[in-house]
Amino acid sequence: MRVLKNVPVEDLRMYRGVVVEDVVGPTGSLLLPKGEDIQELLHSIPDVDKSLIQWGIGSVLLSVSFDISEDDFRVILDNIKPKMRVLEAEVAQKTVSQVDEVYRRISENGTLGEGAYHLAQQAAMLSEEVSRAPQILMCLGKVKDNDEYTFVHSLNVALLSGYLARQMKPGDRELAAAVTFGGILHDLGKARVPQDVLNKPGRLTADEYEIMKQHSVFGHEVARDSGISDSRVLSVIRNHHERWNGSGYPDGLKSKNIPLFARISAVADVFDALTAKRVYKEPATSRDAVSIMLKSSEGDFDWNIVRLLLVSVGLFPPGTMVELSDSSTGVVVSSKNTDLMRPVVHVYVDEEGRRLPQGRLVDLSKQANLYVHRAYDDLGKGASFL
């Protein structure tokens, strides 16, 4: 979003935007060229703002940007981390590396080996970590390279599945750990799917899709042959593609005949797939993903679990860029389960368009006359290990 604004010269360093028209001194010399980024000019020409004042120029017309970059988002995270717990980068990266290693072992030896034990331990730790994180979306990772999609996706499905399990059965730590472990391993069978099918950038043919559908059966076999006997974990691996109306695979299970653990992971799996960037599609925003799943929940998913996802992420999920009713701009950092319309927002541009170096947290549930006027996009996913 951009607006035209005459910015006082002494305030130029507080704004992001481009110069709208050439700024010329009394002698005809060009001081600020049209179309240049004001922050780049201020950086490359030291004291240019002081020169403008000396030449009697009081303001500059800018096309002011209210947008947020990933660098901006890192700054916001640094500001709010003391107030909000997120998954540490080292923990996320360790899990992704372990999943990568397990896939290599399956390709070479056909079993997980001792990788199963290490991943089970990691799952228990992740489950505990996420239980203390107030906002699950701030813990999910972003896929930067298509080659790592399967591994980051496995981490995200594990985190979201464990989080939803905790919300459904708050006191059952063992269940949450088992569902988290199942989430890590849910796509295990893809290690036995041919790479040209697995990484095909376009739509799969009917034959290729039949091969891909076998991954849940392959994964179940590999897990069982590797000594995993927990029925909850095995059901996630085998049945995360079953659908509420019986249209899923591999067993065509329907409604409550689908194990609860698989129903939870199915919601987590599709939500993360929708919000991931792939070579053949752009990512959906978290808001759009929840909306898509709500529309298809009657046929595809357990409605109670989709509703729980909505309550967990809110109508304005963490990471959503929003414009407030006073024209200030910010990023949603948490949602109130009791009021999905009025989240907590980290405001980084005030109502005049000025950048706030430290920003300020605004709890809309405590502001009677302030509300979300417009939502734009989300940057929250991947915040934990950008």
Nearest one of 98, 100, 105, 112 to 221, comparing CA atoms? 112
CA distance 348 to 50: 26
Nearest one of 200, 175, 180, 181 to 190, comparing CA atoms? 200
What does the pLDDT look like over 181-212, one tens digit per residue? 999 999 999 999 998 898 887 889 999 999 99
What does the pLDDT look like over 281-299, one tens digit per residue? 777 877 788 888 888 767 8
Taking the model in full, what pTM does it have? 0.74
State the average pLDDT over residues 109-134.
83
- For residue 382, the model assigns a pLDDT of 41
Q: Give residue 160's Cα distance to chain centre.
A: 11
In contact, 219 and 185? CB cutoff 8 Å: yes
Q: SS3 for 348?
A: strand
Lateral strand order in the sheet of 17-19? 2-8, 59-65, 17-19
pLDDT interval class at 265 (50, 70, 90): very high
Q: Cα angle at 297 between 291 and 301, to 5 degrees?
A: 130
Q: Cα angle at 249 between 243 and 250, to 5 degrees?
A: 140
Domains and CATH numbers, the chain: 2-65 (no CATH), 88-132+136-313 (1.10.3210.10), 318-385 (no CATH)
Nearest one of 100, 195, 217, 228 to 154, comparing CA atoms? 100
In contact, 164 and 197? CB cutoff 8 Å: no
Which range of 136-150, 215-229, 314-328 scores highest in mean pLDDT? It is 215-229
CA distances from 62 to 87, 147, 170, 329 (A): 39, 41, 52, 18
CA distance 333 to 41: 32
